[in-house]
Amino acid sequence: MVESGMSELIISIKEIITPIGQMLAAATDKGVFFLGFAENPDSGFRLKKAAAELGGTFKIDAADAGDLHLLKLDEELKEYFKGHRRQFTIPVVLSGTDFQKKVWETLTRIPYGKTWSYSRQAAEVANPKAVRAVGSANGKNRIVIVIPCHRVIAKDNGLGGYSGGLWRKEYLLKREGSRIT
């Protein structure tokens, strides 16, 4: 039963196999709102939190418009890992604070094969002193790879952090042809 004033929001979920592990993806009819590594202990929590922030009543359904987004995401990820895709075209739905959304939107401006430092990203959000806050927001990115937080590194060219594991960040950067130390 849907409460008065609340709309029912149907969520589709799909497991996607990639060269760097099994991923869990979720979408609504508006687009993908979650893509994370399935074995991360907090993936389920992060998925539930992202879903709750979208509002409404949630019903898991395997035959929904969100499935089309997930099928396209699976296809685009396969193309990305084969080296045939540099940019994702699937629609995404961001849920988080205004600051987090601003930080995540800057990530989409980092060109394929390039990296930015956390301090450069902080400058891009017009808050050069917010380096730690930018790093924290990147760590809460709920649509990894598509929103390429892996392209942000420490200013000394070290990897910095990555919620999916540094070995994955290194793999993704090398796949894209980025130079890392």
Per-residue pLDDT of the chain (181 residues; tens, 9 = 90+): 334 444 677 888 888 999 999 999 999 889 999 999 988 777 777 777 787 787 755 666 555 556 889 999 999 999 999 999 999 999 999 989 999 999 999 999 999 999 999 999 999 998 999 999 999 999 999 999 999 999 999 988 889 888 889 999 999 999 999 977 6
Catalytic residues: 149
**Range 98-175: architecture per CATH:** Orthogonal Bundle (1.10)
Stated pTM of the model: 0.88
173 by Cβ neighbours in 10 Å (0-12 / 13-18 / 19+) ranks as buried
Compute how many other C-beta atoms are within 10 angstroms of the C-beta atom of residue 37.
19
Q: Are 97 and 52 in contact (CB under 8 A)?
A: no
Which of these, 143, 140, 158, 122, lies nearest to 70 by C-alpha position? 143
Q: What fold is seen in the domain 8-81? A: Double Stranded RNA Binding Domain (3.30.160)
